[in-house]
Amino acid sequence: MADLLVEQPQEITISKTFPTKPKLKSKPKTPSKTPESKYWSSFKSHQISNLISSIPSIDFSPISPHHFAAANSASLTLFSPHTLSPASTISSSDVVTSCSFRCDGSLIAASDLSGLIRVFDVKTRTPLRRLRSHARPVRFVKYPLLDKLHLVSGGDDSVVKYWDVAGESVVLDLYGHRDYVRCGDCSPTDGEMFVTGSYDHTVKLWDVRVDNKESVIEVNHGNPVEDVIFLPSGGMVATAGGNSVKIWDLIGGGKMVYSMESHNKTVTSICVGKVGKESGEEALQYRIFSVALDGYMKVFDYAKMKVTHSMRFPAPLMSIGFSPDCMTRVIGSSNGIIFAGRRKAKEDVGESKVGNFWALGSVEEPQRRALRPTYFRYFHRSQGEKPNEGDHLIMRQKKVKLAEHDKLLKKFRHKEALVSVLGGKNTENVVAVMEELVARRKLLKCVVNLDDEELGLLLGFLHKHSTMPRHSGLLTGLTRKVLEMRAEDIRASDALKGHIRNLKRSVEEEIRIQHSLQEIQGVISPLLRIAGRR
Amino acid sequence: MIRGGRSYVLSPPAFSNDAKRLLVCTANSVTIFSTATGLPVLSLDGHTALVTAVIVVPASTPASKILCYCWTASLDGTIRYWDFSVPELIKIINVNLPIISMVIPSLLSQTAETNDKSPKTFAYLSVENTKEPEKESGKALRGQIKKCNLTNSRMAGGMTLSETKQPEIITVSSSGKYFGIQFKRKLRIWKVPTAESERAVVKKITLHHTKNMNVLAFHPTQRIVAAGDVTGRILIWRGFGDRTFADGDGLVSRKLTNNEEERPGVRGDDDADSCTTWHWHSAEVNVLFFSSDGAYLYSGGKEGVLVVWQLDTGRKKFLPRIGSPLLWFTDSPDPSLSSISCADNQIHLLKMPSMEILKSISGIKLPCSFPEMCNGLQSGIAFDCNAGLVALRTENYCIQLYSLFDDRGISEVVVCERNHQPGDEVTVVVTLAVLSLDGSMMSTAEVKLPEEGLGGLVCLKFWALGSQNKEFSLSTIVYEPHRDAGISAIAFHPTRPMAVSSSYGGDFKVWVCNNGIQEMDKPLPNSGWTCHAVGSYKKKPMTAATFSSDGSVLAVAAETVITLWDADKNILVAVIGETLMPVVNLAFAGKSEYLVSASWGSKPQLSIWSMSKLSVSWSYMLHVEAIASAADMSFFAALALLPESSKWNETSLKGRDGVILLFNASDPVPIFTWSVQKAKGGALAFIQANQFAIDENELDGKPHQSLLAYINGDHEYLLFDPQGKEAKEHSTIRQEGLGDLEEAGKFGYASIYGELPQFDPKRKQASWVPSASLERPWETVFSGSSHNLPPLTKLCSVFLESLLEKRTVNVD
């Protein structure tokens, strides 16, 4: 394919067609999208909105195909990640606060406001165990990652409990928090260690092997802790509370590494996810996702200590989950809407192809006959036909697409062009056409030639936009000219008089604004002068 | 010394016989361009004044196609005969009168009689009679048509065919039988006598019209003459001169018919059968030309549209949007190639049946007239001193970048995205163009003129040079940078990406490119210029601005005083002044401590200010058009217009109206002075010559040679060494263009259908040499489509010739 000849028709044109262009707006100085930012926005958003109340907890099943469970009112809904639709619902007796899959994905534990923790079979939805010991609502329940037999839970009675699930009994009661325990996470490297966070601003690391039932390490977040997670290495934790997300080094004795404070309201939930890209700088790196009541989701690169992506949702956000296969991102909001996002599955196709290759390795592809001009089929080639090697490619010149008003301007039909662009919605284009007419010395002639209806269109436009500072330089002058030239016609028509009334009102409004601005300036400028003197 | 920037379109060009060269009259020389590449190949130097006519001796046989002889005529009163393949001057004929136009009809009619002994060649000249003292300015007949014997190189005695008030341009028919002039409302047509001798009586007729006529053209075979007038009408007289030119044996059988019905459209007693009028052009017609077979008439005028009329039906075809008034249309021996010359100093080569533009030979853009109110105080000419480029404003809202060393256009930057239509009212004007010192940035200012006070707009644009493609691309647009006040000057910081624009509205703004802050090589995706600081001095209009050579001081002229600023911190450092009239031009004299200012008006002044004393050091009362200072020297050059009072010694100055003065800044006595012509609207700059020195090895290895470049009001330029004693002229044509010339030239059939694979081009060429035995020449003679073949008269002789058995002779 390398020696495909690309011939372009060589043509020297002396003059070209220039469509009228609106004036450029000054761009805000935001940097353009980084590749990573593009990646995160490539998750196709999907709203699941038929739930009733807020979603306090979301958990993904650790085994493929990674169903996810969302706690919602008195039920726990399981969703399929492919269709993002509810697959099944597990009902509970009270409002569910937290849920957690076991590491093999076959059981799920759910806690509720009555202080009860229940364990369900995911497939059959039958309740298997009821763990009752908490005196107050249970706020978090968690299966350890490497342990199928125990559970960790914490509640508003400020007690952290370590359960033996099979026997429905509490193994350890861990006292130490002095306020509601709201969150916790189990270590990814060790089945016996976990952290909990509480409204007493502290995060405690517990080890069930320690005898004295005291926390191993304690760190102070400085705000009521809303969420705490282990980072995948197991040596660091991230805590969320107040407006900040903080990262702590546990191996280094509980030292704070970084505090990310880019949210404006309380951060409610954080989780860890992986960039699912195969190539690129940031491929297969971990990120911290945080959601907050301000409606923002932020992606935080804790290697570079930088927020790499930020996304806004139209509701306060309560919980976030990210699937282990990096395909699905689910955010629960306070008004019962789940903002799910799913990436297009490219890798799946690739894998299946590889599978085919191995399975059908011996089978040859049927050789397709090359098309020759002697075949009838040759003349029925479609547009999608790929050029053969040795074919001469003749590029067609790109056609310049012209708007209606540009076509009219090209034909010197100035009034029609003005009317056509006034009928459109784009203010910038109208002004651009007017400026072009000024350059051709035809604007006033156009105004004279407008009939009553078209004049109404023009006056309506002037009423709306003549006081806009961006265009007022041209439009106020034009308004005056129009009124001078067409005074007779305006007097004759009631509809036009209405336009004039509107115009007058908007001009008076603008004058009022200018007056008050001048007053403000009068107040401020002496202050500035005094400040400058110092 | 390098001269350049000459106009290519003052006189019609001529094609060589093989249509591979185009001979263009360029001021005192004839430059030969290759039609394949559009680059200059050779130049014929020798004339001492403007060359006004070039005529290639046509090839009578195919063998002589390789012959390259031409006649040139010039205002210096000489006719010269050249062999332009070498190039070599063969003959000079001195006429002693400035020749405005020359035709040699016998060269054209010679084709029929081949083996005759060479007849005498006569030229008809239109000369300006300067010998007779002017009696009364109104009545003097300055234009004369004379006959000249070129073979004996003397004027035909006593033969003055006609006298007109102004010398007119002679047009000859392509058959060489008639020639004529148009003057005022008349056409005067002569018939060339068949047997040429010095005393042969030349018959003439006169045709009349009601409007002034601009141009005329003869039909190649029939007695048809076409003329274009100032209102855009084309008049076609058929059967002109039936009475007068009918072979003068007294066999005028035709009755004198003064009857209007029988001779429609013909005025009075004019000798023509009929006169028809075509009217399409809205303005004056400048170009008329019959196609070689006489079926079509090409016309063009001020609108810049080439119109092709089918002569029998009057049907039209157009080549629109040429963008500039047409001046000349020239046909070539190759039927598929012709050229049009436009008023913007461009020659377009057209591929003929389809009228596509193949190549453009673009000369320096000629100065264009702008409306009075927005004539910037500076001439709008900017120089890139390192690359030897000059940036000029053009009429079609572009900036042309022209290489001074190569004498050719590099590129054009479209500043306003508009098409220019010649003849339209000018509504958008590019007022300023400034290049940064390293040539990587450009800034332009444009003004949109308001319609009855509506919608005027001043616009400042910054352009950045692309790294590879050498094209400027738009970086930033600033609308109304100083509210609605016009921009008086723009200046770039010598080292950093910083610029200052001053306005008549009383403030100046310092602009910085945020790209410059970035240290990395890769540019920021959104690099642009932003306003860094605003300054004003007592609300006075700011009229000029400049940075010192190290960029530490910014000098802005506030009318009559000069304010000095620290551009970074935006602090007013000092105020010096004041002059009598507002300052229009400021420049630091190199690295020295002197600042040069020029003011215009009733009391013009050139002042040199000392920065250490903050006072005027010395000054002259001179109207200084331009100031140039070399970056690393303390010299500066000023282009001064001679005051009106010195016009009395006009004879000694020979029309020179300006002086270039080279000063050492500390010394009021100029080091050198040169007097120049057409200094109004001129510009000056010091150009680094080191790039040039590498190419030419002429400058004796002096390290940093600065040449002084002077562009006059007609955009002709001159580069010379200000310190050099003798001005040595370099040939401006580089020989690099020659290599690709030969294989690129395709001809006739091949140019339309491509090379035929089975023909061996060597054999094909050999078949044209008469000495070689011909195999089957008719195959090649008649190949190609019928409309593209030469006319039958030409083909027939070739064909018959090819049938004859030829005796083989040795040809060296």
How far is Cα A208 from Cα A191, in angstroms, rounded to an integer?
Answer: 9
Nearest to B321 among A14, A473, A478 (CB): A14
Contacts of B747 (CB under 8 A, 6+ apart): B18, B19, B20, B334
Q: DSSP class of residue B646? A: G
Confidence of residue B501 (pLDDT cuts 50, 70, 90): very high
Chain A residues touching residue B321 (CB < 8 angstroms): 13-15
Residue type, B143: G
What does the DSSP 8-state code read for residue A157? Answer: T
- In this structure, what DSSP letter does residue B743 have? H
pLDDT score of A228: 93
Instruction: For residues A261-280, give the mean pLDDT.
Output: 86
Where are the alpha helices (H) located in A312-426, listed in sequence order? 347-359, 404-410, 414-423
B612, B593 Cβ separation under 8 angstroms: yes
**A50-78 pLDDT tens trace:** 777 888 899 998 888 888 999 888 888 99
**pLDDT at residue number B131:** 62
**pLDDT for res B769:** 39
Q: Are A97 and A140 in contact (CB under 8 A)?
A: yes
Q: How confident is the model at residue B415 (pLDDT cuts 50, 70, 90)?
A: confident
- What would you report as the CA-atom Rg of chain B, rounded to the nearest whole angstrom? 30
pLDDT value, residue A4? 37
B726-747 b/e with 16+ CB inside 10 Å = b?
eeeeeebbeeebeeebeeebbe
Greatest Cα-to-Cα distance within chain B, rounded to the nearest angstrom = 96
Interface A-B, measured as beta-carbon pairs within 8 A, has a size of 70
**Token couple for B245:** 């030119």
Is 80 exceeded by the pLDDT of residue B488?
Answer: yes
| CA–CA distance, B664 with B636 (Å, rounded to integer) | 7
Of A11, A12, A18, the CB nearest to B417: A18
Q: What is the mean pLDDT of residues B535-558?
A: 88
pLDDT band at A268 (very low <50, low <70, confident <90, very high): very high
Asked if the model's pLDDT at residue B605 lies above 70, the reply is: yes
Q: Look at residue A512 in the predicted model and tell me its pLDDT.
A: 95
Interchain pair B425, A435: CB under 8 A: no
Name every residue whose Cβ is closer than 8 Å to that of residue A528 and which is 6 or more positions away in sequence: none
Q: Largest Cα–Cα distance of chain A, in whole Å? A: 99
A3 band by pLDDT with thresholds 50, 70 and 90: very low
Closest Cβ opposite residue A23 in set B322, B417, B479: B479
Range of B551-555, B652-656, B657-661, B719-723 with top mean pLDDT = B551-555
pLDDT tens for B148-179 read 777 777 776 666 777 777 788 888 888 888 88
pLDDT top residue among B449 and B262: B449
The residues, any chain, with a CB within 8 Å of residue A498's CB and separated by 6 or more, are none
Structural domains of chain A, ranges and CATH numbers in brackets: 43-343 (2.130.10.10), 404-533 (1.25.40)
Chain B positions in Cβ-Cβ contact with residue A31 (cut-off 8 Å): 525-526
| Chain B interface, best mutation among A5, A10, A13, A14, by max B CB count within 10 A | A14
Lowest mean pLDDT: which of A310-324, B206-220, B382-396, B488-502?
Answer: B382-396
How close B81 comes to chain A (CA, Å)?
36
Mean pLDDT of B266-291: 84
| Residues B569-586, mean pLDDT to the nearest whole number | 86
**B454 to A441: CB separation less than 8 angstroms, yes or no:** no
B750 near B743, Cβ under 8 Å? no
Q: Which of A385-399, A485-499, B235-249 has the highest mean pLDDT?
A: A485-499
Chain A residues near residue B451 by CB distance under 8 angstroms:
438, 441, 443-444
What letter would DSSP give residue B132? S
Give the C-alpha separation, B53 to B49, whole Å. Answer: 12
Task: Return the SS3 of A495.
Answer: helix
Quick one: average pLDDT of B357-372?
78
Q: Coil, strand, or helix at residue A351? A: helix
- Reported residue count of chain A is 534
Q: Which residues, in sequence order, are CB contacts of B87 under 8 Å at separation 6+?
A: B32, B42, B43, B44
Cα(B376)–Cα(B369) distance, rounded to whole angstroms?
A: 12
Q: Answer yes or no: is pLDDT of B747 > 60.
A: no
User: Testing the interface with A: which of B340, B359, B417, B454 to mutate, by most A Cβ within 10 A?
Assistant: B454
pLDDT at B780: 62
Cβ-defined contact of A12 to B457 (cutoff 8 Å): no
Rounded-to-integer distance, Cα B48 and Cα B443, Å: 40
- 3-state secondary structure at position B610: strand
Give whole-number Cα distances, B270 to A503, B44, B643, in Å.
69, 43, 53
Tokens 């185009």, located at residue: B22
pLDDT band at A19 (very low <50, low <70, confident <90, very high): confident
Least confident of A252-256, B130-134, B417-421: B130-134
Q: Which residue of A has its CA nearest to B324?
A: A14
**Alpha-carbon distances, residue B49 vs A369, B2, B52, B144, B332 (angstroms):** 73, 17, 9, 19, 27
Instruction: Please answer yes or no on whether A14 and B357 come within 8 Å at the CB atom.
Output: yes
Gap between the Cα atoms of B401 and B409, Å rounded: 6
How confident is residue B714, by pLDDT bands cut at 50, 70 and 90? confident
Q: B36-70 burial string, b = 16+ CB within 10 Å, else e?
A: bbbbbbbbbebbeebbbbbbbbbbbebeebebbbb
Closest CA to A68 of A48, A43, A92: A48
Whether A230 and A191 have beta carbons less than 8 Å apart is answered as: no
The encoded tokens of residue B427 equal: 């509504």
Average pLDDT, integer, range A89-108? 88
For residue B672 the two structure tokens come to: 């050198």
A311 DSSP assignment: E
Q: How far A23 CA lies from chain B's nearest CA (Å)?
A: 8
Tokens 């002075």 belong to B673
- Point out the residue among A16, A17, A438 whose CB comes nearest to the CB of B450: A438
What's the pLDDT score for residue B645? 59
Measured between beta carbons, which residues in chain A are less than 8 angstroms from residue B348?
Answer: 14
How far apart CA B402 and CA B6 sit, in angstroms, is: 12
Domains of chain B, start order: 12-94 (2.40.10.480), 378-578 (2.130.10.10), 609-752 (no CATH), 777-811 (no CATH)
CA dist B720 and B324 (Å) reads 32
Check CB contact under 8 Å for A16 and B419: yes
Token pair recorded at residue B503: 């306005």
* Closest chain B CA to residue A27: B526
Task: State yes or no: ipTM above 0.90.
Answer: no
Asked whether the beta carbons of A66 and A107 are under 8 A apart, the reply is: no
CA B310-B314-B318 angle, to 5 degrees, is 65
Query: What was the pLDDT predicted at B196?
Result: 62
pLDDT of residue A245: 92
Which residue, among B491, B396, B444, B388, has the nearest Cα to B717 in the 3D structure? B388
Contact (CB<8Å) B419/A15: yes
Picking from B513-517, B637-641, B794-798, which range would have the lowest pLDDT averaged per residue?
A: B513-517
**Cβ neighbours of residue A518 closer than 8 Å, sequence gap 6 or more:** none
Q: Does position B716 have pLDDT exceeding 60, yes or no? A: yes
pLDDT tier at A191, thresholds 50, 70, 90: confident
Give the pLDDT band of residue B644 (cuts 50, 70, 90): low
Nearest Cβ partner of B455 from A11, A24, A434? A434
- A20: exposed, middle or buried (Cβ count in 10 Å: 0-12, 13-18, 19+): buried
Q: Which residues of B touch A13 (CB under 8 A)?
A: 321, 357
Query: Which residue of B360, B451, B479 is in closest CB contact with A438?
Result: B451
User: How big is chain A by its Cα radius of gyration, in Å?
Assistant: 34
Q: Compute the distance between CA of residue A35 and CA of residue A279 in angstroms, rounded to an integer.
A: 11
Sheet arrangement for strand A75-79:
A57-60, A68-72, A75-79, A86-91
**Which of A210, A152, A156, A205 is closest to A178 using CA atoms?**
A156
Residue B128 carries which side chain, given as an amino acid letter? E
The answer to whether residue B251 scores a pLDDT higher than 50 is no
Q: Is B411's pLDDT higher than 70?
A: yes
Question: Tokens for B27?
Answer: 């001021």
List chain B residues with CB under 8 Å of A392: none
- Answer yes or no: do A474 and B454 touch at CB < 8 A: yes
Q: How far is residue B280 from each of residues A44, A246, B321, measured CA to CA in Å?
A: 62, 81, 16
Segment B440-450 shows an average pLDDT of 87
Tokens of B501: 């624009």
- Paired sense of beta strands A5-7 and A392-394, if any: parallel
Given pLDDT bands bounded at 50, 70 and 90, which one contains residue A28? low
List residues in chain A touching B: CB distance below 8 A.
Answer: 11-18, 21, 23-24, 27, 29, 31-32, 434-435, 438-441, 443-444, 473-474, 477-478, 481
The amino acid occupying position B502 is S
What pLDDT does residue B510 have?
A: 92
Residue position matching structure tokens 């049946």 = B353
pTM across the whole model = 0.68
B-chain CB neighbours of A21 within 8 Å are: 417
For all residues of chain B together, what is the average pLDDT? 77
Q: What's the mean pLDDT when you consider all of chain A?
A: 84
Per DSSP, the three-state class of A324 is: coil
* CA–CA gap between residue B447 and residue A183 (Å, rounded): 67
Smallest CA–CA distance from B357 into chain A, residue: A12
Check residue B379 and give its pLDDT.
62
In the DSSP assignment, the letter for residue B725 is: S
Q: Do A18 and B477 touch (CB under 8 A)?
A: no
Alpha-carbon distance of B733 to A330, in angstroms, equals 72
pLDDT tens per residue across span A479-518: 999 999 889 988 888 889 999 999 999 999 999 999 999 9
pLDDT digits (tens, 9 = 90+) for B130-153: 665 544 444 566 777 888 777 777
In chain B, % of residues over pLDDT 70 = 77
Averaged pLDDT, B65-80: 84
pLDDT for B197 equals 64
For chain B, percent of residues with pLDDT exceeding 90: 3
Half-sphere exposure of residue A385, counting CA atoms within 13 Å on the CB side? Answer: 14
Q: How many CA atoms lie within 13 Å of B604's alpha carbon, on the beta-carbon side?
A: 16
Please compute the mean of the pLDDT values over residues B175-198 and round it to a whole number: 80
Provide CB contacts within 8 A for B673, sequence distance 6+. Answer: B659, B660, B661, B662
- Buried b / exposed e along A425-455 (16+ C-beta atoms within 10 A): eebebbbbbbbbbbbbebbbebbeebeeebb
More confident site: B58 or A300: A300
The 8-class DSSP code of residue B454 comes to B
- Residues from chain A contacting residue B419 (CB–CB below 8 Å): 15-18
Residues of chain B with Cβ-Cβ distance to A481 below 8 Å are: 452, 454
Among the ranges given (B164-178, B395-409, B456-470, B724-738), the one the predictor scored with the smallest mean pLDDT: B724-738
Which of A501-505, B73-77, B617-621 ranks highest by mean pLDDT?
A501-505
In the block, tokens 């002084």 appear at: B708
Confidence of residue B181 (pLDDT cuts 50, 70, 90): confident
CB contact under 8 A, B526 and A29: yes
Minimal CA separation from B425 to chain A, in Å: 8
pLDDT at A212: 77
Separation between Cα atoms, residue B594 and residue B614, nearest integer Å: 10
Q: Note the pLDDT of residue B141.
A: 67
A353 falls in which pLDDT band (50, 70, 90)?
A: very low
Q: Are B22 and B6 in contact (CB under 8 A)?
A: no
Give CA separation, B386 vs B587, B605, B700, in Å: 18, 30, 19
Take residue B238 and report the two structure tokens written for it.
């058929």
Other CB atoms within a 10 A radius of the CB of residue B174 amount to: 21
Residue from B305, B451, B526, B530 to probe the interface with A (highest A Cβ count within 10 Å): B451
Distance from A478 to chain B by nearest Cα, in Å?
7
